[in-house]
Amino acid sequence: MPYEEITPALIKVYGKRDGDGISNSSFVILDRKIAIIDAGAKGELWREVIDVIKKHGRDPKKEQSYVLLTHEHPDHFGSAAELKAACKAEIYAHSAAADTLRDPSKLATKHFGVFGESSGVTNRVKSVFSKVTPVNPDTVLGGGEKIDLGLSSLTAIHTGGHCAGHLMYYDDYRRVLFAGDEVLEAPGNPCKYMIDLTGSADRKEIVLKRLLELRIDLLAPSHDSATAGEEVREPINRALDAHEMWKNEVYETVNRLGKASTEEIANSVQQALSLNWSGELKQVAAAVTTAAYLRSLRLKGQVQESEEKKGQKQWTSN
């Protein structure tokens, strides 16, 4: 299924599915101006996006268009440079995402370097991320801006839970929320519930609780299916359940182990939650999420970091 018309003016374009059935996606809004939310992984779905726009009788080379990035992960901005070249779109992203977009080598260290800069895992992750094409945003957002599309407009909402530069876009005319990766909800799959080293478990909780109060007629996340009407609360509540589960499990694990490194705690959480992963990025995804909950528990005074042992911080409960 390369694309799906949610409405004639709102189209979801799908990327390839990975082994766990997760696919990337872009949303295309055909208003008086054209908005493309997220660009997908490198080389993946940008041609399809251009084709879809043309099939609907629009000319992406001549019309004013925007590529609105939800965040600085390569499965969302990997094809932004190609898309910009193909349709002369202006690229929008949050200010906290800009450094990584311009220099994707920061992904392996600043965002995912949980095993230390010189570790084998980090080096293998570096080689995966080294193929990502940098992109320079034309407009840097802080959150709260309205992007006028003609009939409708999109409000940028800064969230900063999943990663520091995460934005959601809210279409206040259709009451559609483009949620990016902030409402990922599958606790048993670390790639479907992840907070990187720049993100915040506490911000994620605040954002998810606020979403329960926002009028949303269609919730459109990047990787999961869209939900409409009364059902939009369900994925938000599942994401909140996953948050509680991670928070409790990380705290109980620190208590049980007595004194342990982030890596030891992450491995133990992996076993306790029966996280089923394959491949290095998934191992890293679970470890960075564990680290996010350790930071949150430290801020609340429930755990503390002690001296470094072999370059690794040691955690104990209070």
Site string for Zn ion, 59-98 (x = CB under 5 A): --------------x-------------------------
**Residue 31 CB, nearest distance to Zn ion (Å)?**
26
Interaction of residue 202 with Zn ion, rule CB under 5 A: no
**Closer Cβ to Zn ion, 236 or 288, answer by number:** 288
**Closer Cβ to Zn ion, 194 or 297, answer by number:** 194
**Residue 112 CB, nearest distance to Zn ion (Å)?**
11
**Closer Cβ to Zn ion, 82 or 181, answer by number:** 181
C-alpha distances in Å from residue 113, one per residue of 40, 107, 211 = 23, 8, 30
**Closer Cβ to Zn ion, 73 or 158, answer by number:** 73
Interaction of residue 181 with Zn ion, rule CB under 5 A: yes
d(CA 11, CA 4): 6
**Residue 73 CB, nearest distance to Zn ion (Å)?**
3
Interaction of residue 192 with Zn ion, rule CB under 5 A: no
- How many chain residues are in contact with Zn ion, going by CB under 5 A? 2
Stretch binding Zn ion (CB under 5 A), from 44-52, 93-101, 173-181, 261-269? 173-181
C-alpha distances in Å from residue 270, one per residue of 105, 203, 249, 282, 292 = 27, 23, 10, 11, 15
d(CA 8, CA 150): 16
Q: How many CB atoms lie within 10 A of CB 254?
A: 26
Of 125, 105, 99, 101, the C-alpha closest to 114 is 125
Q: How many CB atoms lie within 10 A of CB 306?
A: 10
d(CA 139, CA 93): 7
**Closer Cβ to Zn ion, 73 or 295, answer by number:** 73
**Residue 71 CB, nearest distance to Zn ion (Å)?**
6
Q: Residue 21, class by beta-carbon neighbours within 10 Å (0-12 exposed, 13-18 middle, 19+ buried)? A: exposed
**Closer Cβ to Zn ion, 227 or 289, answer by number:** 289
Residue positions counted in the chain? 318
The site for Zn ion (CB under 5 A) is made up of 73, 181
